[in-house]
Chain A
């Protein structure tokens, strides 16, 4: 019999459970960020659409910055510089803030496109019925625009969910981070990365299936 200490232990059922919990955390951070980011993004998109010059001068460059600077850099910058201005945030909160802003920047363009898809004649028709500006927005522009850009929004949402893996650099134990931990211990990268991939697929696939179904219902 072989003696000595075994440094590496093999992959077990406990580890699957560990990864499932991490997948849940991936889902949580993504869901919160996508929800908040979409809300903020729609407001930004509306400002871009209606705000004319002011929004174009002030908001558009800001959103461009969030869109063009790689997410990992935004995360590291924010996480390291937030304490300087007195914000002591845990990795989850930092991740949510950065992912939310990133999502908002992407959704703003999508939302603006959606509102543009509802032409001026349609809006005049709504107003001619006596609808107020807000009623027009709520009952005509949003529902029609949302249907027009729903597929793009799903693309953004799925992208953000996958990008949430980058929050691992802050030490938040989501799916990717959990996989790295397990790989270090078990030295079975192929197996673990495959399982992580399967988890990501299991998270994304239902969303894209559901989205396709919703889209189909709207097309009729």
Chain B
């Protein structure tokens, strides 16, 4: 379970997150929607410990992410993250991309790591691309590679930061399909997304971010069917 309490985050003078309280229980798929600059992505970076926070607390399975003694490298193994830019390691093949972290971070043997990598690549539909270098893959394939790379660490949580925003429209589907598969398998996911269809169909809950606060949170039927907040209504009218 991810628990967020009274979270505030500043970039210099810019107050990006203005008091976030949020619980994400195991097994839930939470979609986070909202305008650019509303702090959605920053929230993920804070959960993962990639950005320091100024106030409040984030706990993952009871471990305070931002406490001094916390071993972030250890904690991050439990939270896979997929970025807008897929950031595949260009000097490694697809298989090596995925096998690297299990080998050097988890200390798996080379053979074991490759086995895990092959399995995860199969899982995201890249079973025929094991020995391809990233520059021979399409954006959608590279993003699925990034998903496989995160899954290879056998995380309990997956954080998706606008995983489809940088893709050509015709490639968005394959990545969303992969995310759907994960959701069906019961993975706990927080998906920052602009894909309203995905948010509506796949998530258990949807959170609408507005200027650094959660303006509304609820099941997709509420957010998309009968939003209680005027802000949500206005936002959805704009994106539809």
Give the residues in chain A near B133, CB-CB below 8 Å. Answer: 220
Complex CA distance for A71 and B143, rounded to whole angstroms: 49
Q: Indicate which residue in B81, B90, B100 contacts A139 across the interface (CB closer than 8 Å).
A: B100
Chain A, interface SS category: helix
Check A135 against B105 for contact (C-beta < 8 Å): yes
Report 19 cross-chain contacts, Cβ distance below 8 Å, ordered by A residue.
Answer: A122-B87, A122-B89, A125-B83, A125-B87, A125-B146, A128-B79, A129-B76, A129-B80, A129-B101, A129-B150, A130-B101, A131-B104, A131-B105, A139-B100, A139-B104, A144-B90, A144-B91, A147-B90, A218-B91
Question: In the complex, what's the smallest C-beta–C-beta distance from A81 to chain B, in angstroms?
Answer: 44
Check A130 against B153 for contact (C-beta < 8 Å): yes
Give the size category of B's interface with A. Answer: 20 to 34
Give the residues in chain B near A140, CB-CB below 8 Å. Answer: 89
Q: Indicate which residue in A124, A130, A220 contacts B105 across the interface (CB closer than 8 Å).
A: A130
Check B73 against A131 for contact (C-beta < 8 Å): yes
In the complex, residue of chain B having the shortest beta-carbon distance to the beta carbon of A132: B73
Q: Indicate which residue in B76, B85, B89, B100 contacts A144 across the interface (CB closer than 8 Å).
A: B89
Give the residues in chain A near B83, CB-CB below 8 Å. Answer: 121, 124-125, 128
Interface string of B100-136 (1 = CB under 8 A from A): 1100111000000000000000000000000001000
Give the residues in chain A near B188, CB-CB below 8 Å. Answer: none
Identify the B interface with A (CB < 8 A). Answer: 45, 48, 50, 73-74, 76-77, 79-81, 83, 85, 87, 89-91, 100-101, 104-106, 133, 146, 149-150, 153
Give the residues in chain A near B85, CB-CB below 8 Å. Answer: 121
Complex CA distance for A93 and B73, rounded to whole angstroms: 44
Q: Indicate which residue in B76, B87, B90 contacts A130 across the interface (CB closer than 8 Å).
A: B76
Give the residues in chain B near A139, CB-CB below 8 Å. Answer: 100, 104
Check B50 against A130 for contact (C-beta < 8 Å): no
Complex CA distance for A124 and B74, rounded to whole angstroms: 15
Interface string of A188-220 (1 = CB under 8 A from B): 000000000000000000000000000000101
Q: Indicate which residue in B50, B79, B90, B153 contacts A124 across the interface (CB closer than 8 Å).
A: B50
Give the residues in chain B near A124, CB-CB below 8 Å. Answer: 45, 50, 83, 87
Q: Given A121-B83, A130-B101, A143-B91, 20 other A-B contacts at CB below 8 A?
A: A121-B87, A122-B89, A126-B89, A127-B50, A127-B76, A128-B81, A128-B150, A129-B77, A129-B80, A130-B76, A130-B77, A130-B105, A131-B73, A131-B101, A131-B105, A132-B73, A139-B104, A144-B90, A147-B91, A220-B133
